[in-house]
Chains A and B, each alone.
Chain A
């Protein structure tokens, strides 16, 4: 009996051990993670990462800021979505940032973060990102890590193909995903071919960053997808992919996949500038907004725009050429030399790579194959430099290293494929987990890639993380590309959908980081510069509370004489001049959010007391040992009460 049990026990142990060994073996071969990997991503406590990684939050509408190689999340920058934590879109000062021709739009779908460039190299001044749904482009200031400007794009049905840059950030370019009637009007949907058009927009960026829709180009009613500016020899040109050249308006998955080739539109924007200068544009009335944050006033302003200049290609010869490109191309990526233009033919079995110099020659020799609405179509053979064969299924996007290789993401086969520029041969491939969309090499779409890592931005994680109900995290994966073979180093989860990301060496950005806002420069009309100026002012039923904060009290912290039905504005100025000392402000029953006030700045919370009683308020950001003492009371009396308006601190 005893022996029998012992035998059974031994067998069970053996089975478990075997299963464990096999299982672990599988896991290892699946990930190909070798022994020294931990060292390569380990950033010692108290030390800095080598790179900043800016990921789009996708449908969260925000931007995530991570460190590489650690994958640590440092900040979520609110951009297109309201964020009660930072009062973004809730404070009176930030509300104008959300203005559009459709009114206050509190959310968007943010896809492509793009670092500003000087001479084709990422310079760390700004990060641009697009809002897809209600077409907008935002500019984030990388000194403050705050959204500095949001401009609406008129005549656009969906702003997917943006914000891509010219080499000195002269322009941010955008193309409409959905073609729509321009100007928009009520037409039958099956009149697509007759009524629907696309636009390509050039948004001028002024020296200090201010954006303006300088001109748009009216293009045939296709879907426009992605873009890239030329660089070096191709500086002065920008490239835009299109699909749905079939011009279907229903069941696009079938109907827009019929043609063998769609187009990359090559736009000569220097030529466009000349045409604009010559007055060869039409002025279309259009209704759109530019919103910007005034750093001295600590508040945002909205500017309404009412027209836009439009160029018509048939009236502007030499403005656009079409490069035929196989099967619904998605990404269009220009290599660091500016000579090669790689397309992600998402339904193609190859990656076509066009040559800029061949394109120029073909234009000169008029090697055309017909035209669309006056836009000449160049012959595929005349512009093609080479084809990467067997790049995986569903090739989407390519980024480049500094050693002459392209790295293409293949969505359907979930892999990154490395190929050599010039020979077009595939030299390495590595699986991603799972369904990679974009990929990112620091500086990988500029003249100067820092080719140390490639980051895969994955749509699906399935079994990679602890389950969290029906929705699982999406992820980024870090690969070492410093050697011949790509090596997986790290998986890390991301906010929203990490649709695209850009990375930059830390020292370029961190030296500009703001620590405080000098209080003497605070030009907010409701700011106070000294505690002695704290006061409460009634004007009819509108009450302005001019409040100051410093560790660890509010002034005033006792307020009486507020009445039900009043409209109360708390204008809170943080008098601190020390790095990393924001104060929070929250009042019971507020229907909006808290305030989080940076040192030296002023923010305003609107509060509508609906019931009489006593309302506490307090600091929400743990600021010092006496943080828990940082509080106050507001007495709210009935409507028409004669309780006198009074305020004080410490008496």
Chain B
């Protein structure tokens, strides 16, 4: 019992720290050289925050492009929805609030390069331990991953603000 409790507590702590970190980092990301003390992962700060993959720089995001988000929805339905629902756990976690959990850059890297993230990134490893299913590479190209991001930015913008 104690052991399980301690595990849950630790997991919670990690997730909590990650979220805290991301929400803080979102605002003041200008200085990449800053050593982040919450990063005890051994990973470089960028990867710790944004995952491994082709997105290696902060994205400059314009106001939400609705037609693009519409295309993202179609991609979601064809390539993702077999495993992800918006509001309930399915094969993988519910996705409506994904951008409250990870950065846009992490989101795209995870979509584009799940294998490496599942292997190396503590957050993805944690998810794997929880869902027991490696996220699938759905052979999504950069452009389509960006459209998916737009769809989730739209969903995010519709969420009640805390």
A-side residues, CB < 8 A to B, are: 516, 518-520, 529-532, 548, 550-553, 555, 575-579, 581, 624-626, 650
Contact = CB atoms under 8 A, between A and B. Distances in A.
A624 B82 CA distance: 15
A579 B136 CA distance: 10
B14 to A, nearest CB: 22
A519 B78 contact: yes
Contacts of B132: 625-626
A410 to B, nearest CB: 52
Interface in B69-114: 77-79, 81-83, 90-91
B82 A530 contact: yes
B8 to A, nearest CB: 22
Contact of A519 (B79, B81, B133): B79
A578 B83 contact: no
A550 B82 contact: yes
A98 B101 CA distance: 54
B125 interface: no
Nearest to A555: B82
Nearest to A516: B139
Given A551-B91, A551-B133, A625-B132, A577 B82 contact: no
Nearest to B115: A578
Contacts of B78: 519-520, 529-530, 575
Contacts of A576: 136, 138
12 contacts: A518-B139, A519-B78, A519-B79, A530-B77, A530-B82, A531-B77, A548-B82, A550-B91, A553-B91, A577-B79, A577-B139, A624-B134
Given A550-B83, A551-B136, A578-B137, 8 more contacts: A529-B78, A531-B82, A550-B82, A575-B79, A577-B138, A577-B139, A578-B136, A624-B134
Contacts of B91: 550-553
B140 interface: yes
A598 to B, nearest CB: 13
A577 B81 contact: no
A548 B79 CA distance: 12
Contacts of A575: 78-79, 82
Contacts of A518: 139
Contacts of A555: 82
Contacts of B134: 551, 624
Contacts of A581: 136
B137 to A, nearest CB: 4
**Quick one: which of A519, A530, A576, A650 has the most chain B CB within 10 A?**
A530
Given A519-B79, A532-B77, A553-B91, A577 B133 contact: no
A551 B139 contact: no
B90 A650 contact: yes
Nearest to A531: B82
A575 B133 CA distance: 16
**Quick one: which of B90, B91, B134, B139 has the most chain A CB within 10 A?**
B139
Interface of B: 77-79, 81-83, 90-91, 132-134, 136-140
A520 B78 CA distance: 8
B130 to A, nearest CB: 13
B79 A532 contact: no
Contacts of B137: 577-579
Main secondary structure of the interface of B (DSSP, over half): loop
A518 B141 CA distance: 12
B138 to A, nearest CB: 4
A578 B82 CA distance: 14
A522 to B, nearest CB: 10
A552 B134 CA distance: 11
A579 B139 CA distance: 9
A532 B133 contact: no
B133 A625 contact: yes
A300 B65 CA distance: 42
A471 B9 CA distance: 64
B74 to A, nearest CB: 8
A575 B136 CA distance: 11
A626 B133 contact: yes
A514 B134 CA distance: 23
Given A516-B139, A553-B91, A624 B83 contact: no
Given A552-B133, A625-B133, A650-B90, A578 B139 contact: yes
Nearest to A581: B136
Nearest to A624: B133
Contacts of A548: 82
Nearest to B81: A531
B77 A550 contact: no
A339 B15 CA distance: 75
Nearest to A518: B139
A550 B90 contact: no
Contacts of B90: 650
B141 to A, nearest CB: 10
Nearest to A650: B90
A646 to B, nearest CB: 20
Contact of B138 (A529, A532, A552, A578): A578
User: Which 9 pairs of residues, A with B, have the shortest CB-CB distance?
Assistant: A577-B139, A550-B82, A531-B82, A577-B138, A530-B77, A578-B137, A530-B78, A529-B78, A575-B82
A520 B79 CA distance: 10
B161 to A, nearest CB: 30
B88 to A, nearest CB: 9
Contacts of A520: 78
Contacts of A552: 91, 133
A532 B81 contact: yes
A546 to B, nearest CB: 13
Contacts of A577: 79, 136-140
A233 to B, nearest CB: 48
Contacts of A650: 90
Contacts of B81: 530-532
A650 to B, nearest CB: 7
A516 B79 CA distance: 14
A173 B79 CA distance: 45
**Quick one: which of B78, B91, B140 has the most chain A CB within 10 A?**
B78
B118 to A, nearest CB: 12
Contacts of B82: 530-531, 548, 550, 553, 555, 575
Contacts of A625: 132-133
A576 B81 CA distance: 12
A624 B139 CA distance: 18
Contacts of B139: 516, 518, 577-578
Nearest to B137: A578
B89 to A, nearest CB: 10
Nearest to B90: A650
Contacts of A579: 137
Nearest to A528: B78
Contacts of B140: 577
A241 to B, nearest CB: 49
